[in-house]
Structure 1
Amino acid sequence: MAAAPVDLSRVHVVVPNFKKRLSGVTSTIIQLVPLQAKEIGIATLGPGLPDHLPRLRWWQVPGLLRRPQGASVRVWHARRNPEMLAGVVLRDIFRAPLKLVFTSASQRRHKRWTKFLIRRMDGVIATSRKTAAYLEVPNTVVMHGIDIERFHPPADRAEAARELGLDPGQFHVGCFGRVRHQKGTDLFVDAMIALLPRHPRWSAIVAGRATAEHKGFEADLRARVEKAGLADRILFVGEHRDIERWYRPLSLFIAPQRWEGFGLTPLEAMATAVPVVATDVGAFSELIEDSVTGTLIPRDDLGAMIAAAERWMEDEAGLGQAAANSRAHAATRFSIEGEVRRLGEIYAAAIHGQ
């Protein structure tokens, strides 16, 4: 049953989400909003979000033309171009009392349309120092945090594996996210095809969805695995909303992306006490302590991925220490509460004209 609509008069921050499919941005909103709602009147707007989040209905949108209780403006926090555009239309055409804030995770030069929209924002947030370098307007860096209560180590990794129908006697290495070339899923699969015959105590898990245009890519990967005789040890388990459960059986995580905006999966893994081998894309170099919580490797370098993963697979004691380091690193430097606090400061400054 859908939740009752929120009282718009008490909403000081609107978080639009105009994409139905699960994405990194959607995941960020799902994790942040429940915590933000404890501190400020906040509501989402749009499809693709669970019903437990406070949500405006489309029929309530005209109410955005009125001021909320206790403030002269609301914050409209966009994370995509269509959401920025909607905010500009509401503020500049319909004269809605809004302050527009945009979070950018992109690490490439923006197209002219995106630049046009960004210049019309009242505040811009970058999710990493790398992202900030591509912005041509003043911005504030606020790195993503992770819910360290949701993503936590299991009491027993073997039992965590058994609960998911995995072999509890195996070590598991994972690669989670959309199944596509950009995400480097093929590099992970090829690395596992090279490594697993040499390491019979290890199995691999690919978790994530291949959208329609990438079904052929996924089919090719499955065919490679079948040809290698590893279909029982390289498992494609699909997309899961309870993805935190799939991190718990892991002993190693690989983030093989060729390109990434920010990339939450290394943080999710480290919070679960799983060391990470990651390509140097997105914010990964700002998340991982090389040789302490994992290993950074060049992008699109299969040989480097195989070598780095094998070093960890052969060093059980080192893997255990890196697991402890990873959990401590995520908990102390990347808690989601820290991100909520920084966003709250930005919202307050926008609302009160600071």
Structure 2
Amino acid sequence: MADIRDIEIIAPNFKRRLSGVTSTIVQLVPEQIKLGQRIAVLGPGLPEDLPHLRYRDLWRLWRAPRGQSDRIWHARRNTEMLGGIVLRHLLRMPLKLLFTSAAQRRHSSYTRFLIRRMDAVIATNARSGSFLEVPHTVIRHGVDIERFHPPSTADDTIAATGLPGRYLVGCFGRVRHQKGTDLFVRAMIELLPSAPAWTAVICGRVTVEHQAFAVELERAVAAAGLSDRIRFLGEVDDIKPWYRRLSLYVAPSRNEGFGLTPLEAMASETAVVASDAGAYAEMIVPGETGAVAPAGAYEPLRDAIAAYLSDHDRVERHATNGLRHVHADFPLVKEAKAVGAVYDGLLERRTSKREN
């Protein structure tokens, strides 16, 4: 457990189940610690090796950390914003409130009410920022280029999987309509008969409410006689080697907050086709590192995929370019430094006022 006297930033996580927000915290906090940011997490569902605070430690927030007059409460959900507001405004704890927004839609009146009470707001991309009605800083998510890296061993090949074919094309994430899994499966059913060297894999959890959706997809694959070449792998223990085994990754989401999977794929030296949901279009350089299709539009997505299945030189060229692009523009350390600059501004602003 972390010593709260030394903690300047608290990253609450008020959701037990794994989500994109949780994944962001898990990846970003270790990088922030490397940079000397005095941060700890609060809440369930987070790895034990992160510095943790307990809920019973919160009463000690009345006392500021060593060397500062405030702490930062960095919220990423409504419940966490509300928690920070209660701690500061009702309990009068010395906190600065920061919110990171990834939403790709106009916020509800309740969310706007919460956001207006924040001291600073971060948007994860320009599109998210366009829905905010307050001043904000755009800081795009990055990817851990040490965890996600190009193939390096025999385990990083299609041969290691026992699957047929020479090349893999994959779609990762929860199996549901929002994620566009059906669009990917439909494209594979149409394209694979003319692309005998390719096999498709779908990796991701199927929740109870989306079970019927997943069953229908598997039935469609079976009816097409492609069950050996379109494989549903479920939720795998470690997704990282699967990115390295792919030649092409497809992100067909109809709706996303930010969406890290194209970055993870490019960091693994894998070419990418994505919809323009979330921040996908801001990650990909069309014609150089991958292709982008309108979210929810089947034909453009299918045609973009087909261009790769029929041209492996394009696959390899865009994979190489994508790796270079991620290392230059999307390393996780770049995000951690930019967020740290926002922290510094919040911690120094009040100090400056008091000194004056």
TM-score, normalised to structure 2's length?
A: 0.95
Q: What corresponds to 2:48 in structure 1?
A: 51
Which stretch has the larger CA shift, 14-23 or 115-124?
Answer: 14-23
Q: What corresponds to 1:63 in structure 2?
A: 60
Matched position secondary structure for 1:175: strand
Aligned 1:239-250 pairs, distance under 5 A: 239-240=235-236, 242-250=238-246
Matched position secondary structure for 1:352: helix
> Which one-letter code corresponds to 1:269 in the other structure?
A
Q: 1:343 to 1:329 in 2, by over 3 A?
A: same
Aligned 1:228-239 pairs, distance under 5 A: 228-239=224-235
Q: 1:194 to 1:314 in 2, by over 3 A?
A: same
1:139-191 deviations in whole A, cap 9, x for unaligned? Answer: 0000000111111110257753344x343752001111111111101101111
Give the drift of 1:262.
0.9
Q: Is the Cα–Cα contact under 8 Å of residues 156 and 241 in structure 2 kept in the other structure? A: no
Give the drift of 1:290.
0.3
Aligned residues between the structures = 349
Aligned to 2:115, which of 110, 115, 118? 118
CA RMSD of aligned residues (A): 1.4
Give the drift of 1:11.
0.6
Q: What corresponds to 1:81 in structure 2?
A: 78
Aligned to 1:207, which of 203, 210, 229? 203
Runs of 4+, deviation exceeding 6 Å: none
Aligned 1:234-313 pairs, distance under 5 A: 234-240=230-236, 242-313=238-309
Matched position secondary structure for 2:231: strand
Counterpart CA distance in 2 for 1:122 and 1:114 is 15
Find out whether 1:102 has 2:99 as its counterpart. yes
Q: Unaligned 5+ residue runs, structure 2?
A: none
> Which one-letter code corresponds to 2:107 in the other structure?
H
Give the drift of 1:88.
0.5
Aligned 1:120-199 pairs, distance under 5 A: 120-155=117-152, 159-163=156-160, 165-167=161-163, 169-199=165-195
Aligned to 1:325, which of 306, 321, 324? 321
Q: 1:157 to 1:297 in 2, by over 3 A?
A: farther
Q: Is the Cα–Cα contact under 8 Å of residues 124 and 138 in structure 1 kept in the other structure? A: yes
1:293-344 deviations in whole A, cap 9, x for unaligned? Answer: 1111112111111111111111111211111000000010000000000011
Q: 1:52 to 1:158 in 2, by over 3 A?
A: closer
Q: What corresponds to 1:334 in structure 2?
A: 330
| Percent identity over paired residues | 52
Aligned to 2:346, which of 335, 339, 350? 350
Q: Unaligned 5+ residue runs, structure 1?
A: none
